[in-house]
Amino acid sequence: MKVRRDEEIVARQGPRVYRLAFAQLRSKADAEDVFQEVFLRYVEKLPEFESPEHEKAWFLRVTLNCCRSLWRSAWHKRSVPLDENLPFETRDQWGLHQELLRLPKKYRAVLHLFYWEDMSTAEIAKVTGSTPAAVRKQLERARGMMKELIEKEGLGNV
Q: Which of residues 80-139 bind other proteins (CB under 8 A)?
A: 80, 82, 84, 87-98, 101-107, 111-112, 115-116, 129-131, 134
Verify binding: residue 49, other proteins, rule CB under 8 A.
no
Is the CB of residue 83 less than 8 Å from the CB of residue 30? Answer: no
d(CA 57, CA 47): 12
Per CB under 8 A, the list member of 1, 12, 22, 47 interacting with other proteins is 22
Nearer to other proteins, 53 or 129 (CB): 129
Per CB under 8 A, the list member of 36, 49, 54, 151 interacting with other proteins is 36
d(CA 79, CA 74): 10
Minimum distance from CB of 69 to other proteins (Å)?
9
d(CA 143, CA 115): 11
d(CA 58, CA 50): 11
Per CB under 8 A, the list member of 25, 30, 39, 59 interacting with other proteins is 39
Nearer to other proteins, 50 or 72 (CB): 72
Most distant pair of Cα atoms in the chain: their distance: 54
